[in-house]
Amino acid sequence: MRRRKLVTIILGIIMVLPLFLGLGGIKGIDVEAAEDVTLMIHKKKMTKFPGDFIQNTGKEMDEVFNDYDPLPDVRFNVYNVTAVFYENYIAKDGKTAQDFAIQEVKKLDETSLGTPEFTDTTDEDGNITFRNVAKKSDKQDAVYLIVEEPKEGVTAGERMVVAFPVYKMTTDGEYTDEELDTIHLYPKNVVETDGSLVINKKGTAEGEALNGAEFIISRKVGLDDEEAIQYLSGAAEGMFTWGSLADAVKFYSGNTYKMSEAKEAVKGILEEPGTDGKLSIVGFEYGSYTLTETAAPEKAGLIKEDYEFTISSDKISAEFEVENDTSIVEKKIAEVKVGGNSYGIGEAIGYEISTNIPMGIRRLVDDQPYYTKFELVDTHDKALSFIEGTYSLVMRDEEGTETEILETSTEGTKNYSITHAAGTGSITTDSFTVAVTPDYIVNLTPGAKLVFKYQMKLNAAANPDTGFDNSVSVTTSHTTDTSEIVTVKTGGKRFEKVDADATTNKLSGATFIVAKGSGTAREYLIVGSNKEVSWTTTKASATPFTSVANTGIVDVKGLEYGQYTLIETVAPTGYVLPANPETPFTISEGSYGSGTTLVDPADVPNKHKGSLPSTGGSGIIAFVAIGVVAVAGAVLYFTKGRRQIEG
């Protein structure tokens, strides 16, 4: 019994023992096969391969590659090629067994490589870390092939083969006795940097070139939720460098930016001034970028800030137009007369002011309106007066359709207001301001025209042949412009009443009226108390003009240019009206004169009435006596003759 029990125990031990000794066909645990290492790839950008061969040592080499920027978003696949490596581990074609095996492994196409053992993409620092890379494969020293996937704009580095165990190597290519458990690799790449960006900066008012707009450029790096934004901050080794917003380089329209010629040195970015509103930047890698306008040029407003662009093999140069809001204001007389801008005093002059409404008029910044001011300021000579009740404010679209803006809305709120300001002291102009209410500005239509129509008149201060100027400026929160000056004039004519036989004798007291037209269309001039002119078909209602004592001057002024007639109605005392009392005349530019330089007046002569000798003169008695005798003789003759006939 006891012996049987002992045999059973011994047989049990024999059956369990293989579990510890690896016997009985069960594979044992290979301690070395469980060992692994960390493989780190450091991807750097270069515009060309280094002139001298740089040997990977397996250790970190920051002192060599520190001047090169990291290359993110490059994918690497790591394949286990141990079996293929040892199948080709033979000395052949003049190569050692190891060199020949490496050559053959590098030739493998990806379809025959199968599934990669590891795969990952470089982060924003250009790094990948592969952990738990086994040093053994089927009890053999493992061999791995590292393959870089193609990336547009990047010349991929050469395939790399890592065969374990890996020992630190000197830069001269000599192995040391230090086996590495973390292996650093620096695959070399060439990055294309001939991408360019061209921005044509224009204003919305007239498509005018704009210089001085300020921009920065950014890009996104990293993947998925870990994306970060970097800003173009300089240049080094022939490539742009990227950093924080605080370090961002500012680019200005009207300039060209490029690398310095010494690309191996950190030279930054050079500037070549220009004036055509064009911004040109050369030196981009392939990729996607954002152009951000951070400041508009003077007298211009932003429409939007960000503009996306991509540099690729299909589009090595990105070029597009970026607009800023600008304003242009125009002032004109609504109906220009054939004879030019001449008017009678008091005559209504129709004016029209128009300006473009900015494209960004409804833009919000932090939920607040970008535009809070929109004003038209009309500045005019004091000889011009605004006529109340004759104005309107409209929006006019591209087809010319107009929509009136009510001064006061149906709810009672002001949509716009008009205020007047009189010049004082030496200021010879008055002004008025049309201001759109801030709350109403966002209701304006982007791209349409804002048009203000109104009337003015020349007043009593208007002298002939003097230009009376009128201009307007537009001012918004971000744009401004001033119109050309519109000038109006009034005319006149001077006459001088003289003796027809002695023209140096100036006659006073002659009375005239002024007419225009002829026949049934004839009208007669009326001059009001404030020198306003008007016309009537009733001759008796015409305003009389009387020649001035000592000078005989008759001033006719305050009329528009044209043809008129001076009609004398009362001659000076002792003179008779001319057989034709009408004198045609023309009022034109310079027909009156201005200031102290007046045109010589036109003479209007009168004939003196006939004269007789005074009472008591001797000559007249003889003439009277002779007349009486003659009359008496005639009477006697005819009386005597009649009697003879009758008898």
- 435, 473: one domain: yes
Longest dimension (CA), the chain: 230
- 57, 172: one domain: yes
Per-residue pLDDT of 271-296, as tens digits, reads 566 678 999 998 898 889 999 999 99
pLDDT, residue 568, reads 97
What's the rounded mean pLDDT across residues 572-580?
93
> Is residue 242 in a domain?
yes
- 460, 553: one domain: no
Instruction: Please determine, for residue 641, whether its predicted confidence score (pLDDT) is greater than 80.
Output: no
User: Distance (Å, rounded) from C-alpha 553 to C-alpha 592?
Assistant: 13
pLDDT, residue 642, reads 47
If pLDDT is split at 50, 70 and 90, which confidence band does 569 have? very high
Q: Are 561 and 340 in contact (CB under 8 A)?
A: yes
- 554, 541: one domain: yes
442 CB burial (10 A radius; 0-12, 13-18, 19+): middle
Q: Are 350 and 334 in contact (CB under 8 A)?
A: yes
User: Distance (Å, rounded) from C-alpha 35 to C-alpha 164?
Assistant: 11
> Residues in the chain, how many?
647
* Number of domain units in the chain: 5
Q: What is the CATH number of the domain that holds 311?
A: 2.60.40.10
pTM of the model: 0.72
User: Distance (Å, rounded) from C-alpha 116 to C-alpha 78?
Assistant: 5
What's the rounded mean pLDDT across residues 346-360?
97
Beta strands in 274-316 (DSSP E): 278-284, 287-295, 306-311
Give the rounded percent of residues in the chain with a pLDDT score beyond 90: 60
More confident residue, 390 or 629: 390
User: Distance (Å, rounded) from C-alpha 492 to C-alpha 343?
Assistant: 11
Concatenate the DSSP letters of all residues of 133-192 into one string: EESEETTEE-EEEEEEPPBTTEEPPPPEEEESS-EEE-TTS-EEEEE-SEEEE----EE-
pLDDT, residue 392, reads 97
What's the rounded mean pLDDT across residues 139-148?
92
User: Distance (Å, rounded) from C-alpha 65 to C-alpha 62?
Assistant: 5
> Is residue 632 in a domain?
no
Stated as kind and residue range, the H or E segment containing 441 is: helix 438-441
Q: Are 522 and 630 in contact (CB under 8 A)?
A: no
Looking only at the bridges linking them, the beta strands covering 190-191 and 75-80 are unpaired
If pLDDT is split at 50, 70 and 90, which confidence band does 374 have? very high
Last residue of a domain, one of 191, 216, 251: 191
What's the rounded mean pLDDT across residues 587-613?
88
pLDDT, residue 258, reads 79
If pLDDT is split at 50, 70 and 90, which confidence band does 4 have? very low
Q: Name the percent of the chain in helix, strand, coil, to the closest 5.
A: 15, 45, 45
Q: Which domain holds residue 12?
A: 1-29
> Is residue 99 in a domain?
yes
- 23, 42: one domain: no
If pLDDT is split at 50, 70 and 90, which confidence band does 297 have? very high
Q: Kindly report which listed range (41-50, 210-219, 599-608, 627-636) carries the lowest average pLDDT score.
A: 627-636
Bridge partners of residue 526, in order along the sequence: 534
Instruction: Please determine, for residue 405, whether its predicted confidence score (pLDDT) is greater than 80.
Output: yes
Tell me the average pLDDT of the chain.
85
What's the rounded mean pLDDT across residues 304-308?
95
Instruction: Please determine, for residue 265, whether its predicted confidence score (pLDDT) is greater than 50.
Output: no
- 399, 520: one domain: no
> Is residue 629 in a domain?
no
pLDDT, residue 539, reads 95
Per-residue pLDDT of 525-567, as tens digits, reads 999 999 999 999 999 999 999 999 999 999 999 999 999 999 9
- 294, 378: one domain: no
Q: The tokens of 548 are what?
A: 């001035």
- 466, 535: one domain: no
pLDDT, residue 22, reads 31
pLDDT, residue 267, reads 45
More confident residue, 59 or 352: 352
- 150, 221: one domain: no
Q: What is the CATH number of the domain that holds 356?
A: 2.60.40.740
427 CB burial (10 A radius; 0-12, 13-18, 19+): exposed
- 339, 427: one domain: yes
Give the rounded percent of residues in the chain with a pLDDT score beyond 70: 83
pLDDT, residue 596, reads 86
> Is residue 515 in a domain?
yes
Per-residue pLDDT of 449-461, as tens digits, reads 999 999 999 999 9
- 406, 546: one domain: no
